[in-house]
Structure 1
Amino acid sequence: MNEPSRSTEFSEPRGPAAALQGAADMVSLGAAWAAGICILLLTLLVLLDIFLAFFSGFMPSVPTSTGIGWEYSAYLMGSSFLLGSGMTLRAGLQLRVEVLMSSLGGRMTRFFEGLSAALGVAVTVPLALWLARFCYRTYSYGEVSQDSYTPLWIPQLVLAIGAAVLAFQMVARLVTCLAGHPVNRSSLGAASAIE
């Protein structure tokens, strides 16, 4: 007797839904790398402010801080949060009611996955559009921050891009769910859901 081939039994989903999900995964992966760079820059900025504060006590010529630490820390934190949210969603590491999902049967689980994805689309798409309009308005008015005179459209653009990546991943998740494919891909996560 011939046994079913493992390659066909565990093959990757194919078709338009899988292509859309693959594109969303690639965009989310790039944004997740950018989020990691934001966290690295945030860490370096905080460490620089700590060292400056420490050495200014011994050497009066050293400034007590960078002067932009708090402002840029906020920009980098918000950017890392939104840029990494698409990959977090796809890896299945977002916060959700796992007790409810694990106690339901296959069809009910799929129904609630679809419902939550539809609600996610209803929230994230308008959020991405609003942030893009807000960024454009700030750019057209030429608004800058009070402390560093940074054009505010720059950090707002990064937030808008992060929201767009999350919205794209959410739309792909809904289409993937409706096509009957798995919505989470734990191999994309940097940690397990327990951690």
Structure 2
Amino acid sequence: MRGFLDRLYNAAGYAAAFFMVVTLLMVVAGIADRALAFGWRGTDMYAGYAMAACGFLALAHTFKRGEHIRVTLLLQASSARVKRLLEIWSLFAATMLSGALAFYAIRLTYQSWDFHDISTGNDATPLWIPQIGMAIGATVLFIALLDDLVLELRGKRVVHSSGEMLRNE
């Protein structure tokens, strides 16, 4: 199971990187269109869709690598028992909130598909297509947080530190 979950988080990270490149390509295409009048429509909308997919798909991968911002001032000043209770409480709250986000993202995507909702821009893209990235990213984040909550409850969680504080001046 651990191998599957790690592959899931890595796959989401690779998908986020792919959509980051797509964002770049759409921005460059938009610039080229303005300069050379190719007549390409919707490049700015597609760049926005790709940027949203990139952001949501990167959440779980970033979380599992310890790269999310954590305020550890209170944790550092706490005893081991209090620190563990705060970690469990934080992970539980984050899991519940991300579960709600995933549920409503999936629901929004389904409703956009069911109502045949399309973009109001000149691209007329069915909105369920770009919303899939948000729904998948939110769901994988929920799985990652639930995974860490279970590991913390079992006493097997390893908190990764990014080392970013070491690079600050």
Partner of 1:48: 29
4+ long deviations beyond 6 Å: none
Query: In structure 2, the residue corresponding to 1:50 is in which secondary structure?
Result: helix
Instruction: Tell me the TM-score normalised to structure 2 length.
Output: 0.87
Match of 1:152 among 109, 113, 127: 127
* Mapped pair 1:78 → 2:52: yes
Aligned 8 A contact 1:135 1:160 in 2:
yes
Instruction: Rate the CA distance shift 1:124–1:50 in 2: closer, same or farther, 3 A.
Output: same
Work out the number of aligned pairs and report it. 165
Partner of 1:193: 164
Partner of 1:110: 84
Instruction: Tell me the TM-score normalised to structure 1 length.
Output: 0.77
Q: Percent identity?
A: 27
Partner of 1:177: 152
- In the aligned structure 2, how far is the partner of 1:73 from the partner of 1:183? 36
- In the aligned structure 1, how far is the partner of 2:158 from the partner of 2:100? 22
* Greater radius of gyration (CA): 1
Aligned 8 A contact 2:148 2:157 in 1:
no
Cα deviation for residue 123 of structure 1 reads 0.3
Cα deviation for residue 86 of structure 1 reads 0.4
Mapping for residues 1-195 of structure 1, pairs under 5 Å: 19=1, 21-53=2-34, 55-56=35-36, 62-63=37-38, 66-146=40-120, 147-185=122-160, 192-194=163-165
Which protein has the bigger helix share?
2
